[in-house]
Amino acid sequence: MTPFEALLVTKTEDGPKPEWTNLTQDDLMDGDVTVRVTHSTVNYKDGLAVTGKGPVIRRYPMVPGIDFAGTVATSAHAAFQPGDGVLLNGWGVGETHFGGYAGYARVPGDWLLPIPSAFTAQDTMAIGTAGYTAMLCVLALETHGVKPDSGPVLVTGAAGGVGSVAIALLSRLGYTVAASSGRAETADYLKSLGAAQILPRAEFSGPARPIAKERWAAAIDVAGSHTLANVLAQTMYGGTVAACGLAQGMDLPASVAPFILRGVTLAGIDSVMAPMQKRKEAWRRLAQDLDMTKLSAMTETHPMRAVVDLAPLILEGKIRGRIVLTAP
């Protein structure tokens, strides 16, 4: 079989080691659909996997990359035929099953979605798990009754992938968005996406009071830890906070006060194992509600081989918006 390039992470005495190598389709894992990967992306989770700074990879060796898009090469699944454009987010790909940083991927067809007609393969990876997660967060706020006239919505980690797409979605839907970021130089960028107010990350990153002045009808939080505790303490009566990340930490040093005194809802957002029906709705809404001009403005494109250099940068908060990787 013709070899193709893949980023293979092996476990060594010094820790996980990523290295570009050649594989063939015989090296791929089980699945009934083989995809010629054309695009992938870099999410925070990918940064942890490639650098080894988080326990994302759970079996070695592993091809990381929790997202990919491409064209079906072979299929034994009734829903897909050779030549179909498909995308994948999550399902343990890049963690326990070979992922998207390779020329080919083989997966169960039940994990795949057809690329929506509104998008190209590149568009779907400009969105990626980060943007798909942002849409899941917006859907959670809507499910819990948060409307544009309910009050301002706070987005933490605003200049990152989830935050950038969340701001673009919320502003287009008519919400007033406050953006929290640790990078003052991104203020104009965040305003261009639709943020009405820019707040310093430091305002939320210290220890939280049990309950504080009501400021937000809702929030989308990517940080966890003290940031999430502060956001909860400041959420208005009956408000909802969608929590989808742990950039500050996995802990939650908070009080029950917001829940029992203000009826605040903490909605957990899981993008990895979300059921297919929820995924389809998220992608349908992305096709309907995401401003493609804003998506383009927040996206940079790099060759896939650049991911080893990009991975530490996303963990350091040095990447703004979204990254698309083009396959080797």
DSSP of 184-241: GGGHHHHHHHTEEEEEETHHHHSPPPSS----EEEEEES-BHHHHHHHHHHEEEEEEE
User: What number is the average pLDDT over the span 84-104?
Assistant: 97
pLDDT tens-digit series, residues 264-323: 999 999 999 999 999 999 999 999 999 999 999 999 999 999 999 999 999 998 899 999
Q: Are 154 and 220 in contact (CB under 8 A)?
A: yes
**Quick check: is 283 in a domain?**
no
150 and 225 co-located in one domain: yes
Check whether residue 224 and residue 93 sit in a common domain: no
Mean pLDDT of the chain: 96
Same domain, 312 and 188: no
Domain shared by 215 and 240, yes or no = yes
**Is residue 1 over pLDDT 80?**
no
All residues at 6 or more sequence positions from 61 whose CB lies less than 8 Å from its CB, including other chains = 8, 9, 10, 11
For 240-249, the pLDDT digits (tens) are: 999 999 999 9
- With a cut of 90, say whether residue 14 has pLDDT above it: no
In a domain, 123, yes or no: no
Same domain, 139 and 263: yes
Q: What is the largest CA-CA distance in the chain?
A: 64
* Residue 238 pLDDT: 98
* Domain hosting residue 71, numbered range: 4-115+298-326
Looking at the domain assignment, is residue 289 inside a domain? no
Query: Which residue in the block uniquely carries the two structure tokens 């990918």?
Result: 46
138 and 222 part of one domain: yes
Domain count, the chain: 2
Q: Is 102 exposed, middle or buried (0-12, 13-18, 19+ CB in 10 A)?
A: buried
Amino acid at position 59, single letter: R
Residue where one domain finishes, among candidates 250, 268, 286: 268
| Angle, CA 42 vertex, CA 95 and CA 245 arms, to 5° | 70
For residue 69, tell me if it sits in a domain.
Answer: yes
Tens digit of pLDDT for each residue in 285-301?
Answer: 999 999 999 999 999 99
Do 233 and 310 belong together in one domain?
Answer: no
317: CATH: 3.90.180.10
Mean pLDDT on 77-96: 97
Cβ neighbour number for residue 2 with a 10 Å cutoff: 8
pTM given for the model:
0.95
Burial of 285 (0-12, 13-18, 19+ CB in 10 A): middle
Q: What's the confidence (pLDDT) of residue 328?
A: 74
Domain end, chosen from 225, 246, 268, is at 268
End of a domain among 222, 249, 268? 268
Looking up residue 151, the CATH number of its domain turns out to be 3.40.50.720
